[in-house]
Amino acid sequence: MFETSIAGSLPKPEWLAETQKLWPQWRAEGEALRQAKADATLLWVKTQEDAGMDIIGDGEQARQHFVHGFLEQVEGIDFVNKVKMGIRNNRYDAMVPQVVAPLRLKGRVHAFEAQLARAHTQRKLKFTLPGPMTIVDTVADRFYGEGEEGRIKMAFAFAELLNQEALALQADGVDIIQFDEPAFNVYLDAAADWGVKALERAAQGLTCTTAVHICYGYGIQANIDWKQSLGEEWRQYEKVFPALAKSSIQQVSLECFQSHVPMDLMALLQGKDVLVGVIDVASDVVETPEQVADTIGKALQFVPKARLLPCTNCGLAPMSRAVAEAKLKALVEGAALARQRYA
């Protein structure tokens, strides 16, 4: 009961990359970088185990960014001639690569870190991939066509590639494959319409556990400003949760603690495992076990005990290692306290 896990990312050590950044520059290259990525992955596998986490992740140590880490292994994308594009419905601008030809995988994307993590833990292993809609919102299209129809075509093309890698990750021994879809909180109608369908295409044929993570964005000022504009009650989940409840995706990871998301929205996810965010990733203040257990207790009004999985609100990458480690311990101790209270 109350199995603990992280949403995805963990801080990169200073000998691997710039610290406390969402787009860090690597500190090495070539074989030295590959070894540093391996060392960082193993460090975090051990740290999560030592903290008592039930489900282990690779911490995304081998990826510079949660979307572009996948795109780097895709043919048909021009990384040289980047263009400025509005991201998340023009919330902020970024220089992004362009899709210029049919999309194909060059080969395996995450075999290195997935197989490494699998070989070094006996616990359940979760691995994250970007979702199709969020990828489409993070690249410029010069191939699939204008408007919504082009976005849908490109999303399903990416979904096929994600599916290829997801099936290979399953063969590597990954227990849970999670697709990250922050774009679901922005393009609400499209997410409920074709976004969930593209997600299901990405998960097609998987027999391991499938999950989707939907958050409000972190780590940059534009995300902070946007959230401050949303008012006292954030109801974006209300649009996509009914579509997800009907989908083949088994788990939904969402924000909760220190968020303005009404807890009753979790009731829309009947029949799904709910990864409840009990750890705030926007603050360095470390939660107490009592706070974590209290959040779990409140969520139990809307989620059955057997389906509630305490998690972080989002990735911990922008934090210091010391704070991230302390928050992992708080998560584990809070879940243990909740088991005593609510068993």
**What percent of the chain stands above pLDDT 90?**
80
Residue 23 predicted with pLDDT over 70: yes
Q: Average pLDDT of 16-42?
A: 93
Scan for tokens 């080969």, then name that residue.
107
Residue 1 predicted with pLDDT over 80: yes
Of the ranges 90-94, 198-202, 207-211, 308-312, which one carries the lowest mean pLDDT score? 90-94
Token pair of 73, please?
């292994």
Q: How many residues does the chain have?
A: 343
Token pair of 36, please?
């540093």
Calpha distance 177→155 (Å, rounded): 18
- The class of domain 30-64+110-342 in CATH terms is alpha beta
* pTM for the structure as a whole: 0.95
The secondary structure of residue 23, as a DSSP letter, is: S
The secondary structure of residue 283, as a DSSP letter, is: -
pLDDT of residue 318: 87
